[in-house]
């Protein structure tokens, strides 16, 4: 039986993953669901944000679904014990280098976006964010004190040919099944890694993907085009840091951070890591008002990409659409429903 590991984590994480569990149990009994503390919750219970046992369980599962990590409670912990360090260690440990972040503007939600309906309506773009390299992991890093008493912080942006190639390959493959266009965003005008990024993507394209349209864009311009004409994009591939930033921007196009799922994939056949892109939202945690749809849609991606059940994924996607069409709305998208009631609305359409 396929195995799903739930990592509820912190803040609104447990609230939204509870709804995933209910949806999963309704959809299929051919799935073993296991659950472990993660992030700050794991630090409190087990002394580390990601334990060896939890990483081993993640690698042994078919899919891992995380809620969210972090919060003010752990902000003063040393960096390597912070909840976010657990998430980075999980991504690195599972070697999930390609992070798929789809931004879809559902028709009924077009007015929930802060952008005009005519700009976002029908939006369907896929950000492919490199997830296990770049400045998130580069060495050296740290803060040192200089002889004159000043402090100096260092992060290192670093990419190898192999890292750029494997994530670009995912983008080209996806584009072939979509509208056939890849836009690659970098800062090749100022960064060495950016220049290498552009060269490697261009060479891979010429060698293996000449049938796909490839366009390069500077990451700052990409940020602008995202709000001016987001439907310009089909697949947008970029590095870890730019992908982090541009995917938050893309989320807002769809109406709310509470709507955006993601899938992080590694080698074919290896377990995938699924996360809503929203954070732990400490301001609303524990109130039962968070939107569970990003988490539920992350489970939909897990059914499709890791659990071998595209049929169930389609049913779930249809149920979410139907719930929205019927007017189901949590606060973030202009309604009154609680987390549980939104879960109920999806269940009602399954």
Q: List active site positions.
A: 136, 187, 220, 244, 248
Decide: is 272 part of the binding site for ligand IPM (CB under 6 A).
no
Out of 10, 62, 234, 244, point to the residue binding ligand IPM (CB under 6 A).
244
Q: How far is CA 109 from CA 235, 256, 350, in A?
A: 22, 9, 20
Question: At closest approach, how far in Å is the CB of 5 from ligand IPM?
Answer: 18
Decide: is 208 part of the binding site for ligand IPM (CB under 6 A).
no
Decide: is 277 part of the binding site for ligand IPM (CB under 6 A).
yes
Question: At closest approach, how far in Å is the CB of 121 from ligand IPM?
Answer: 25
Helical spans, DSSP H, in the chain = 13-27, 40-46, 52-60, 83-94, 117-120, 161-176, 192-208, 219-228, 240-253, 293-305, 310-325, 339-348
Question: At closest approach, how far in Å is the CB of 87 from ligand IPM?
Answer: 5
CA 182, CA 175: separation in Å to the nearest integer? 6
Instruction: Decide whether 33 or 92 has the Cβ nearer to ligand IPM.
Output: 92
Instruction: Decide whether 245 or 270 has the Cβ nearer to ligand IPM.
Output: 245
DSSP 264-310: EE-STTSPEEE--SS---TTTTTTT-S--HHHHHHHHHHHHHTSS-H
Question: At closest approach, how far in Å is the CB of 145 from Mg ion?
Answer: 30
Out of 58, 87, 236, 259, point to the residue binding ligand IPM (CB under 6 A).
87
Q: How far is CA 61 from CA 34, 306, 310, in A?
A: 9, 10, 18
Q: Look at the block and give the residue holding tokens 């890849």.
A: 182
Query: Near Mg ion by CB under 5 A, which window of 15-23, 155-163, 238-246, 326-334?
Result: 238-246
The number of residues making up the chain comes to 350
Instruction: Decide whether 87 or 285 has the Cβ nearer to ligand IPM.
Output: 87
Looking at beta carbons, which residue is closest to Mg ion? 244
- What residue 10 binds from Mg ion, ligand IPM, none (CB within 5 to 8 A, per partner kind)? none
Query: Between 318 and 337, how does the x/- string for binding to ligand IPM read (CB under 6 A)?
Result: --------------------
Rounded (5°) CA angle 233-222-88: 95
Q: Cα torsion for 325, 326, 327, 328, to the nearest 10°? A: -100
What residues from 47 to 76 belong to the interface with ligand IPM (CB under 6 A)?
Answer: 69-70
In the sheet that 32-35 helps form, which strands lie side by side, from edge to edge? 32-35, 3-9, 63-68, 272-274, 263-265, 98-104, 124-130, 235-238, 181-186, 213-218
Decide: is 84 part of the binding site for ligand IPM (CB under 6 A).
yes
Decide: is 244 part of the binding site for Mg ion (CB under 5 A).
yes
Decide: is 276 part of the binding site for ligand IPM (CB under 6 A).
no
Instruction: Decide whether 66 or 337 has the Cβ nearer to ligand IPM.
Output: 66
Instruction: Decide whether 230 or 279 has the Cβ nearer to ligand IPM.
Output: 279
Question: At closest approach, how far in Å is the CB of 277 from ligand IPM?
Answer: 5
CA 124, CA 145: separation in Å to the nearest integer? 47
Decide: is 98 part of the binding site for ligand IPM (CB under 6 A).
no
- What residue 87 binds from Mg ion, ligand IPM, none (CB within 5 to 8 A, per partner kind)? ligand IPM
Closest by Cα among 337, 344, 349 to 288: 337
Question: At closest approach, how far in Å is the CB of 228 from ligand IPM?
Answer: 23
Q: Cis peptide before 140, with omega less than 30 degrees from 0?
A: yes
Instruction: Decide whether 14 or 279 has the Cβ nearer to ligand IPM.
Output: 279
Q: How far is CA 288 from CA 63, 186, 327, in A?
A: 26, 39, 19
Instruction: Decide whether 255 or 276 has the Cβ nearer to Mg ion.
Output: 276
Rounded (5°) CA angle 128-134-140: 165
Residues that bind ligand IPM (CB under 6 A): 69-70, 84, 87, 244, 277, 279
């Amino acid at each position: 039986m396929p195995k799903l590991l739930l990592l509820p984590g912190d803040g609104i994480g447990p609230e939204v993953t509870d709804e995933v569990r209910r949806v999963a149990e309704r959809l299929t009994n051919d799935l073993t669901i296991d659950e472990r503390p993660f992030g700050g919750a794991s630090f409190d219970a087990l002394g580390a944000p990601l334990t060896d046992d939890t990483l081993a369980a993640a690698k042994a599962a078919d899919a891992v679904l995380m809620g969210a990590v972090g919060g003010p409670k752990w902000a003063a912990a040393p960096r390597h014990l912070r909840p976010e360090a657990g998430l980075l260690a999980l991504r690195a440990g599972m070697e999930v280098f390609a992070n798929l972040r789809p931004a879809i503007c559902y028709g009924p939600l077009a007015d929930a976006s802060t952008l005009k309906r005519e700009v976002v309506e029908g939006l369907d773009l896929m950000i492919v964010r490199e997830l296990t390299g770049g400045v998130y992991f580069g060495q050296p890093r740290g803060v040192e004190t200089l002889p004159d008493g000043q402090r100096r912080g260092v992060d290192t942006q670093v990419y190898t040919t192999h890292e750029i190639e494997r994530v670009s390959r995912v983008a080209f493959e996806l584009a072939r099944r979509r509208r056939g266009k890849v836009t690659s965003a970098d800062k090749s005008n100022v960064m060495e890694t950016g220049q290498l990024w552009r060269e490697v993507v261009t060479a891979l394209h010429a060698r293996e993907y000449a049938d796909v349209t490839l366009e390069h864009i500077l990451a700052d311009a990409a940020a602008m085009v995202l709000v001016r004409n987001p439907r310009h994009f089909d697949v947008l591939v970029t590095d870890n840091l730019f992908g982090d930033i541009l995917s938050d921007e893309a989320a807002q196009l769809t109406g709310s951070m509470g709507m955006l799922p993601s899938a992080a994939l590694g080698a074919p056949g290896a377990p995938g890591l699924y996360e809503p892109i929203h954070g732990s939202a400490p301001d609303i945690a524990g109130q039962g008002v968070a939107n569970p749809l990003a988490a539920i849609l992350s489970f939909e991606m897990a059914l499709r990409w890791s659990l071998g059940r595209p049929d169930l994924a389609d049913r779930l996607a249809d149920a979410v659409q139907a719930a929205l069409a019927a007017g189901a709305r949590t606060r973030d998208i202009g309604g009154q429903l609680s987390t549980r009631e939104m879960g109920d609305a999806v269940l009602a359409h399954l």
